[in-house]
Copies of this chain bind each other. A is one copy, B any other.
């Protein structure tokens, strides 16, 4: 995975224009990519890669994991999707046009809660100002204890 300097996000993901966007970068539009994009188009929000592979296989049984991963790289470069990592390091894909948001991941129960962009912006702006580090809220995930697990936690 190599999330290099990406194009700016596509606000509304005009799915039908992705082929052109791909070709505009000197890349090629293939049946495998079409399959994946059609799956993504129906899966707005969060998905894991294994879910994607599964759905692709329903359409095209020959789908290969490595092709999916490589196509996801391409789509991330084009700004169509982004990803973060769950608590176990597994990828979580963010399919646009989901509103930009971060994640609060509970280390006990594994639940995920969205963190609206506004609530992180001050922090991220501070990072940019004080440390010249530019981060988007999409990549922000914070691990900790959710409300539920916290209240049921056994005090040592």
Contacts and interface: CB of A to CB of B under 8 A. Distances in A.
B123 A130 contact: no
A147 interface: yes
A31 to B, nearest CB: 28
Interface residues of A, number: 46
Contacts of A16: none
Interface in A21-70: none
Interface string A71-101: 0000000000000110111110000000000
Interface of A is mostly: mixed
B144 A142 contact: no
Nearest to A135: B144
B119 A122 contact: no
A85 B1 CA distance: 14
Contact of A104 (B127, B141, B145): B127
B119 A120 contact: no
Interface of A: 1, 3-5, 7-8, 84-85, 87-91, 104, 107-108, 113, 115, 119-120, 122-124, 126-127, 130-136, 139-147, 149-150, 153-154, 156
